[in-house]
């Protein structure tokens, strides 16, 4: 008689974290201040305010919005604030920066919701491969969040991990 097959990974006590669980979801939109500048280069306060008043803000309803300026123009602080004041009631999230910065900030916001107490004194594996590409900053942030509480942190798959941290 053969001995039963034992799943050593399941019995190891490892907890796997899949960074894809915090991947930003939802529709994104871009708001380029250049489109609201005089000749696409100069911010004239009166005209800027008028173009914002006539903007269809409902087009951004429920979306994650990246606010940026693609022109090499000097944008005063209050202009960014004014755009945020219009977007805040309708947009899901607002980030100053391009689409890549929007994605990064949303990912970081999602990661901040991790209940680190769930990983206290646990051996944690941060999953390294998946369907969706995950940027390096995500792994760094998860490590930063879990390091104070986890017993150990590893990278990869439970059957093949790279040690990152081990509490002594």
Domain boundaries, the chain: 8-24+108-166, 28-91
Beta strands in 33-108 (DSSP E): 64-68, 93-96
Helix or strand run (H / E) with residue 86 = helix 77-87
20 in Cβ contact with 134 (< 8 Å): yes
In a structure prediction context, what are the per-residue pLDDT tens digits for the chain, which is 168 residues long?
577 654 444 446 799 999 999 999 999 999 999 999 888 788 899 999 999 999 999 999 999 999 999 999 999 999 999 999 999 999 999 999 999 999 999 999 999 999 999 999 999 999 988 888 899 999 999 999 999 999 999 999 888 899 999 998
Are 43 and 76 in contact by the 8 Å Cβ rule? The answer is: yes
Residue 40 per-residue DSSP state: T
């Amino acid at each position: 008689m053969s001995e039963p097959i034992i799943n050593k990974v399941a019995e190891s006590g490892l907890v796997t974290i899949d960074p894809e669980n915090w991947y930003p979801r939802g529709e994104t939109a871009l708001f380029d201040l250049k489109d609201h500048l005089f000749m696409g280069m100069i911010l004239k306060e009166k005209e800027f305010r008028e173009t914002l008043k006539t903007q269809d803000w409902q087009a951004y309803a429920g979306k994650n919005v990246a606010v940026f300026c693609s022109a090499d123009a000097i944008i005063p602080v209050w202009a960014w604030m004014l755009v945020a004041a219009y977007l805040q009631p309708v947009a899901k999230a607002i980030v100053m920066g391009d689409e890549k910065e929007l994605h990064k900030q949303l990912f970081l916001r999602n990661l901040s919701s991790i209940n680190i107490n769930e990983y206290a004194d646990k051996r944690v594996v941060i999953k390294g491969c998946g369907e969706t590409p995950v940027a390096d900053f995500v792994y760094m942030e998860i490590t930063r969040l879990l390091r104070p509480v986890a017993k150990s942190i590893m990278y990869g798959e439970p059957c093949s991990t790279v040690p990152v941290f081990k509490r002594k």
